[in-house]
Structure 1
Amino acid sequence: MSKHLTPSVAGLTLFAFFALTAPLPGMAQVPTFSPLAPTTVTNPPPDLPYTLGAGDRVGVTIFDVPEYTGEYQVLVDGTLNLPVAGSIVVKGLSINEASERISQRYAPFVRRPLVTLTLIDARPLKIAVGGEVNRPGSYNVTLNEGQQFPSVTEVIQVAGGITRSADVRNVQIRRLTNLATRQRYTVNLWQLLQNGDLSQDVTLRDGDEIFIPTTTGIDLVESRQLATASFSAEAVKPIKVAVVGEVVRPGPYTVTAATSGAATADSASGSNRNVGGGSSTEPPTVTQAIQVAGGITQSADIRNVEVRRTTRDGSEQVIVVNLWDLLQEGNLAEDVILQQGDTIRVPEAETLTASEATELASASFSAAIINVNVVGEVQRAGRVSIAANSPLNQALLAAGGFDNRRARKSSVELIRLQPNGTVQKREIEVDFTADVNDQSNPPLRPNDVIIVRRSGFTRVTDTLGTIVSPVSNVFSILRFLGF
Structure 2
Amino acid sequence: MLNTGLLKFLTQSVAGVALFIAFNAAVSSASLAQGQPVLPNRQPVIPNRQPVIPNRQPVIPNTQTIPAITQPASPTTQLNTNYLLGGGDLIRVNVFEVPEYTGEYQIPPGGAINLPLIGSVPVQGLTTEQAADKITEKYSKFLKRPLISVNLISPRPINVLVAGEVTRPGSYTLSLQGGAGNNPGVQYPTVLAALTSAQGVTLAADVTQVKVRRKIGPDAEQVAILNLKDIIQTGSTAQDITLRDGDTIIVPTATALNVAEARNLFAANFAADPNTPRTVAIVGEVNRPGSYLVTTGATTGGAAGQAGGAAGSGLPTVTRAIQLAGGITSQADIRNLKIRRNTRIGSEQTVDINLWQLLQSGDVNQDIVLQDGDTIVVPTATEINPAEATQLASTTLSPNTIQVGVVGEVKKPGAIDIRPNSSLNQALLAAGGFNDARASRATVDLIRLNPNGSVTKRQVKVDFSQGINEQTNPILRNNDVIVVNRSGIAQAGDSIGVISGPLGTLLNVVRLFVGF
Cα deviation digits, residues 356-375 of structure 1 (max 9, x gap): 32222223132333221111
User: Given the alignment of the two structures, is residue 414 of structure 1 paired with residue 446 of structure 2, yes or no?
Assistant: yes
Cα deviation digits, residues 297-317 of structure 1 (max 9, x gap): 222222222211121111122
d(CA) in 1 for partners of 2:417 and 2:211?
Answer: 57
d(CA) in 1 for partners of 2:502 and 2:294?
Answer: 66
Cα deviation digits, residues 87-135 of structure 1 (max 9, x gap): 2222222233333443444455566655453322211222111111111
Partner of 1:50: 83
Q: Are the structure 2 counterparts of residues 375 and 281 from structure 1 closer, same or farther at C-alpha, using a change threshold of 3 Å?
A: closer
1:246/1:346 contact within 8 Å kept: yes
1:260/1:277 contact within 8 Å kept: no
Which among 251, 255, 258 is matched to residue 294 of structure 2?
Answer: 255
User: Given the alignment of the two structures, is residue 353 of structure 1 paired with residue 385 of structure 2, yes or no?
Assistant: yes
Partner of 1:186: 225
Counterparts of 1:127-206 in structure 2, within 5 Å, are 127-144=160-177, 145=180, 146-206=185-245
Q: Which amino acid aligns with 2:318?
A: V
Q: Are the structure 2 counterparts of residues 304 and 397 from structure 1 closer, same or farther at C-alpha, using a change threshold of 3 Å?
A: same
Partner of 1:29: none
Partner of 2:324: 292
Partner of 1:375: 407
Deviation at 1:78, TM superposition (A): 1.5
Q: Are the structure 2 counterparts of residues 320 and 159 from structure 1 closer, same or farther at C-alpha, using a change threshold of 3 Å?
A: same
Which among 440, 446, 462 is matched to residue 429 of structure 1?
Answer: 462
User: Given the alignment of the two structures, is residue 121 of structure 1 paired with residue 154 of structure 2, yes or no?
Assistant: yes
Deviation at 1:233, TM superposition (A): 0.5
Q: Which amino acid aligns with 2:100?
A: E
SS in structure 2 of the partner of residue 169 of structure 1 = coil
Structure 1 gaps, min length 5: 1-40, 264-275
With normalisation by structure 1, the TM-score equals: 0.78
Structure 2 gaps, min length 5: 1-73, 302-308
Q: Are the structure 2 counterparts of residues 378 and 66 from structure 1 closer, same or farther at C-alpha, using a change threshold of 3 Å?
A: same
Deviation at 1:393, TM superposition (A): 3.1
Deviation at 1:56, TM superposition (A): 0.6
1:418/1:424 contact within 8 Å kept: no
Partner of 2:132: 99
Cα deviation digits, residues 266-301 of structure 1 (max 9, x gap): xxxxxxxxxx9999673x222212221222222222
Deviation at 1:254, TM superposition (A): 1.8
Which among 221, 232, 248 is matched to residue 209 of structure 1?
Answer: 248
d(CA) in 2 for partners of 1:194 and 1:147?
Answer: 28
1:173/1:185 contact within 8 Å kept: yes
Q: Are the structure 2 counterparts of residues 412 and 422 from structure 1 closer, same or farther at C-alpha, using a change threshold of 3 Å?
A: closer
Cα deviation digits, residues 230-278 of structure 1 (max 9, x gap): 1111011011221122222222222112x14469xxxxxxxxxxxx999
d(CA) in 1 for partners of 2:286 and 2:423?
Answer: 20
Q: Which amino acid aligns with 1:143?
A: L
Deviation at 1:447, TM superposition (A): 2.2
Partner of 1:16: none
SS in structure 2 of the partner of residue 253 of structure 1 = strand
d(CA) in 2 for partners of 1:472 and 1:92?
Answer: 109
d(CA) in 2 for partners of 1:42 and 1:405?
Answer: 85
How many percent of aligned residue pairs carry the same amino acid?
A: 46
Q: Which amino acid aligns with 2:391?
A: E
Deviation at 1:396, TM superposition (A): 2.2
User: Given the alignment of the two structures, is residue 82 of structure 1 paired with residue 121 of structure 2, yes or no?
Assistant: no
d(CA) in 2 for partners of 1:54 and 1:279?
Answer: 53
Cα deviation digits, residues 1-45 of structure 1 (max 9, x gap): xxxxxxxxxxxxxxxxxxxxxxxxxxxxxxxxxxxxxxxx96253
Which among 298, 302, 306 is matched to residue 338 of structure 2?
Answer: 306
Partner of 1:326: 358
**Number of residues paired by the alignment?**
427
Q: Are the structure 2 counterparts of residues 279 and 305 from structure 1 closer, same or farther at C-alpha, using a change threshold of 3 Å?
A: closer
Q: Are the structure 2 counterparts of residues 226 and 277 from structure 1 closer, same or farther at C-alpha, using a change threshold of 3 Å?
A: closer
1:389/1:444 contact within 8 Å kept: yes
Q: Are the structure 2 counterparts of residues 377 and 387 from structure 1 closer, same or farther at C-alpha, using a change threshold of 3 Å?
A: same
1:262/1:277 contact within 8 Å kept: no
User: Given the alignment of the two structures, is residue 394 of structure 1 paired with residue 433 of structure 2, yes or no?
Assistant: no
Q: Which amino acid aligns with 2:399?
A: A
1:52/1:91 contact within 8 Å kept: yes
With normalisation by structure 2, the TM-score equals: 0.73
d(CA) in 2 for partners of 1:471 and 1:114?
Answer: 125
Q: Which amino acid aligns with 1:372?
A: V
d(CA) in 2 for partners of 1:186 and 1:475?
Answer: 98
d(CA) in 2 for partners of 1:249 and 1:278?
Answer: 18
Q: Are the structure 2 counterparts of residues 262 and 106 from structure 1 closer, same or farther at C-alpha, using a change threshold of 3 Å?
A: farther
2:206/2:252 contact within 8 Å kept: yes
2:299/2:314 contact within 8 Å kept: no
Deviation at 1:459, TM superposition (A): 5.3
Q: CA RMSD in A?
A: 3.5
1:126/1:207 contact within 8 Å kept: yes
2:406/2:416 contact within 8 Å kept: yes
d(CA) in 1 for partners of 2:349 and 2:447?
Answer: 40
Structure with a larger share of its residues in strand: 1
Q: Are the structure 2 counterparts of residues 170 and 235 from structure 1 closer, same or farther at C-alpha, using a change threshold of 3 Å?
A: same
More moved, 195-204 vs 460-469: 460-469
d(CA) in 2 for partners of 1:442 and 1:47?
Answer: 71
d(CA) in 1 for partners of 2:243 and 2:427?
Answer: 67
d(CA) in 1 for partners of 2:314 and 2:133?
Answer: 53
Q: Are the structure 2 counterparts of residues 426 and 329 from structure 1 closer, same or farther at C-alpha, using a change threshold of 3 Å?
A: farther
2:410/2:431 contact within 8 Å kept: yes
Partner of 2:104: 71
d(CA) in 1 for partners of 2:506 and 2:131?
Answer: 125
User: Given the alignment of the two structures, is residue 341 of structure 1 paired with residue 373 of structure 2, yes or no?
Assistant: yes
Deviation at 1:415, TM superposition (A): 3.4
SS in structure 1 of the partner of residue 372 of structure 2 = coil
d(CA) in 2 for partners of 1:78 and 1:201?
Answer: 29
Q: Which amino acid aligns with 1:81?
A: N
Q: Are the structure 2 counterparts of residues 422 and 378 from structure 1 closer, same or farther at C-alpha, using a change threshold of 3 Å?
A: closer
Partner of 2:49: none
Q: Are the structure 2 counterparts of residues 280 and 371 from structure 1 closer, same or farther at C-alpha, using a change threshold of 3 Å?
A: closer
d(CA) in 2 for partners of 1:136 and 1:74?
Answer: 29
Q: Which amino acid aligns with 1:50?
A: Y
User: Given the alignment of the two structures, is residue 448 of structure 1 paired with residue 480 of structure 2, yes or no?
Assistant: yes
d(CA) in 2 for partners of 1:190 and 1:474?
Answer: 88
Structure with a larger share of its residues in helix: 2
Deviation at 1:398, TM superposition (A): 2.8
